[in-house]
Structure 1
Amino acid sequence: MRDAADLSRRLLPEVRDIAREAGDLALRYFRPGAATSARIWSKAGGSPVTEADVAVDTFLKVRLSQLLPAAAWLSEETADDARRIGRDLVWIVDPIDGTRAYLSGSRDWSVAIALLFEDHPVLGIVHAPAHKTLYEATRGAGAFRNGEPIRVSATTDLGSCSVAGPKPQVDRLARRHPRIGRPPRIPSLALRIVRVAEGAVDLGLISADARDWDIAGADIILTEAGGRLSDLAGAAPPYNRPDPCHGELVAAPAALQERVIEAITSP
């Protein structure tokens, strides 16, 4: 893991530049407060995709593969290749996390990039171009927002936490802690997690069916900022499985994680 951490630190400046270029490409089609100028169609299952998603995905695949040819690839907008299973190095990418927000003119979307080593994130970037904000981390080196160190909330009072997430999950927590705060919805899962990492919100809840590309880059940022991403059994999310789908997840300061899970799962 030490060699992988060293590799990720060497790669980080170039990956950061690539993420910013990808964000600039996405901004060409983005209209704040208005519908995107990009063409839109539906994928199998009915979720929307735009020509911006495809353009950014293509750009990232070319540039990141050139940067680290040995790495396999997993992306929301690329046909899956089973040869990634068992590979030491894997890029995991969501070219536009929060596509519905993007196409409607909301600023809460992001470009999410992770590098896995032996199925564990060792580098993560979540870039929010419309907010001019870039979050990043590598294993053992801390987490940063626009170059400044970030840290999860220091609160110890679960009952007064601000909690971002789907209403049914927040309601479950509110049964035990009715005074919790409910900030505005954060549609990008990657952004929801990194806002916990920077302490902008105390807790983030994620409903079942998140995919590797939604969470992997943000996961290491949260971890390096003193937080944890886990399922409702307290286990870290596994990555690079044949089915990259996850159950319900909790993003929280490490000191609060067990209490949050207990509160959500208690009858």
Structure 2
Amino acid sequence: MPAPDEDLALLRQAARAAGRIAMGFWRQDPKAWDKADGAGPVTEADLAVNDALQALLTTARPDYGWLSEESEADPSRLDARRCFIIDPIDGTRAFIAGQEGFSHSLAVAEGERIVAAVVHLPVSDRTYTATAEGPALLNGLPIAPSAAGIDGATVLTYRAASEPAHWAQGRVPRFRREFRPSLAWRLCLAAEGRFDAALSLRAAWEWDIAAGSLIAERAGARVTDRLGHPMRFNSPRGMVDGLIVAGPRLHGELLSALRR
């Protein structure tokens, strides 16, 4: 079984290849359509990146499982010791609009735990990396979350998370809400302290958060689902029950303020 550092090197190589393919479609009016059942948009670029990643990664690691937003579900992944968890383009709406804030999210799970992770933003050439035993890095330099408390914190989340119904006694904390289109990138932005937290109160697909969750954890953030439970990956459902990602102080304050 390859060491996590070997898997990380493979993921970095794959993420760079994904970026080159995506940039060939970006701002070139790629074909786009809506998935069934309101699952959001997809483009020919998503599929091209997915096909390239699957070929590269599964050829290098044929005994690993495969879970990707743009592939048919394969239940055999549940029996694999390790599994790739991939979002070929996270932030497809931003990609379609010609915005810069899309990313490639690549992770390896061993059992329920992520052991290697890369989030790559090709337009800005930002690459976040981590292994389960190593530091979280941005372009090779260590990162760390902020030490902010809840009052005045900048929280990456969607508008509905600010509704009183989600908070104990209807008291919405005095944080400032921000948004970025890629959920994987939001976790990384919290990991590096550019924003104080990333928060979602609705279920998140594993491919959106697997890589970012390890990067944030190894940076020193506390990373849980919305109820404060540890995240578990490569599950049959392929989803996690929301997320709270922040420095330990802010994480505790957000968790305490939420309605249970």
Distance in 2, matches of 1:175 and 1:89, equals 43
Of 17, 23, 29 in structure 1, the residue corresponding to residue 19 of structure 2 is 23
* TM-score, normalising length: structure 1: 0.90
Give deviations 1:8-57, integer Å, cap 9, x for gaps: 112322321221111110011112xxxx5211122112311100000000
The total of aligned residue pairs comes to: 255
Cα separation, 1, equivalents of 2:252 and 2:63? 38
**Is 2:240 the partner of 1:258?**
no
Map of 1:88 onto structure 2: 81
Matched-pair contact (CA < 8 Å) for 1:114–1:122: yes
1:197 aligns with 2:191: yes
Q: Is 1:168 matched up with 2:160? A: yes
Q: What code does the residue aligned with 1:168 have? A: A
Instruction: Letter of the 1:149 partner, please give it.
Output: P
Cα distance in 1 for residues equivalent to 2:118 and 2:16 = 10
2:111 and 2:233 in contact (8 A); partners too = no
More displaced 10-residue stretch of structure 1: 225-234 or 193-202: 225-234
Looking at structure 2, the residues matched to 207 and 101 of structure 1 have their Cα atoms a distance apart, in angstroms, of 22
1:113 and 1:125 in contact (8 A); partners too: yes
Instruction: Choose the corresponding residue for 2:68, options 51, 65, 75.
Output: 75
Counterpart secondary structure, 1:237: coil
Residues 75-102 of structure 1 show CA distances to partners (whole Å, capped at 9, x for unaligned) of 0000011111132100000000011111
Structure 1 unaligned segments of length 5 or more: list them.
none
Aligned to 2:126: 133
Q: CA RMSD in A?
A: 1.7
CA-to-partner distance for each residue in 1:210-241, whole Å, 9 max, x for gaps? 10100001110000000122123210222112
Kept in 1, the 8 Å contact 2:11–2:107? The answer is no
Cα shift at 1:171: 4.3
Residues in 1 aligned to 2:74 and 2:172: alpha-carbon distance in whole angstroms = 44
Q: Percent identity?
A: 34
For residue 175 of structure 1, report the CA deviation from its aligned partner: 3.3
SS in structure 2 at match of 1:233: coil
Unaligned 5+ segments in structure 2 are: none
Q: For the Cα contact (< 8 Å) 1:163–1:205, is it kept in 2?
A: yes
